[in-house]
Amino acid sequence: MSASSATAPRSASPPQPGEAILDVDHLHVAFQTPDGPVIAVEDVSLTVRKGEFLSIIGPSGCGKSTVFNVVGGLLTEHEGRVSVAGETIVGPHPSIGMVFQEESTFPWRTVIDNVAFPLELTGMPKAQRLERARHFIEMVGLQGFERRYPGELSGGMRQRVSLARTLASEPKILLMDEPFAALDEQTRLLLGDKVLQIQQELQQTTLLITHNITEAVQMSDRILVMTYRPGKAKRIVEIDLPRPRTSEIVGSEAFGRYVAQIWADLREEASRGLTDDETSRNRGSAS
């Protein structure tokens, strides 16, 4: 691991995840622009264990979503190796499911038909796929809404439909790119609790991209803090707090120390980004 481990407050230890399932080895991503190549991610290495909940956090433009897209197989032009259980990722992988910031329901399909859609693509018989879809609809707390259309649902409910549809394929690894960003704070907290409940129930490996420090500390076993562009692994923070993360734990002094520690890292990187932006503007004005 290229990032340094943080000194963390101690508390009761959460259950330990299992063996490694995802490896990111010396990932380097550069994009060509009219002004020349821009390095988005530089030499990021990361190992994620089976059943672990890991969040990636960093200032805007640090390459979080680039890492997400590489791991999800959506971006294949990169240096370094990404593998699932030893198998190199060269495109979308059946072991990986993705949930995006913008909910992606089909407005012409009912909730149950939305959730059953990926199973339909595999050729699963209708009765079987509808039964499995009902199971995951119940898991995300939408029972009773099976025959509703997305336009009849709130934003948080539509995001739960997207989550259920991804879970229906039973991926070993769930990737989530700021899935709660467009939601109000109350809905965000409730949906975060639901995701944690499901993750614990399925013992699913989960990677969350987020800007929200409190959200990351509340949900994660570990947090990768990334630097300002080019995105590097600045620090890995082990969240040694018991589960479930109740309101008492979230309001505790130990929880607050984690938030303060990560905020100090982010403030340092965001300040560096602002300085670089100001320098670039000044150069542009002078030319």
Q: For the chain, which residues make up each domain, given as ranges? A: 4-95+203-286
Spatial CA neighbour of 73 closest among 85, 90, 98, 86: 90
| Strand ranges in the chain using DSSP code E only, listed in sequence order | 4-5, 20-33, 36-49, 53-57, 79-84, 87-88, 96-99, 173-177, 205-209, 222-226, 233-238
For residue 230, whether the previous peptide bond is cis, meaning omega lies within 30 degrees of 0, is: yes
| Strand ranges in 58-151 using DSSP code E only, listed in sequence order | 79-84, 87-88, 96-99
Domain 4-95+203-286 in CATH: superfamily? P-loop containing nucleotide triphosphate hydrolases (3.40.50.300)
Predicted confidence pLDDT, tens digits, the chain (287 residues):
445 444 344 333 444 556 899 999 999 999 988 888 889 999 999 999 999 999 999 988 889 999 999 999 999 999 999 999 999 998 999 899 998 887 788 999 999 999 999 999 989 999 999 999 999 999 888 999 999 999 999 888 898 899 999 999 889 999 999 887 777 777 777 788 888 888 888 889 999 999 889 999 999 999 999 999 899 999 999 999 998 888 888 899 999 999 999 999 999 998 876 666 555 555 555 55
Is the distance from CB of 58 to CB of 231 less than 8 angstroms?
A: yes
Tokens of 126: 């209708």
Convert 121-130 to b/e letters by CB count within 10 Å (16 or more is b): eeebeeeebb
CA–CA gap between residue 131 and residue 148 (Å, rounded): 17
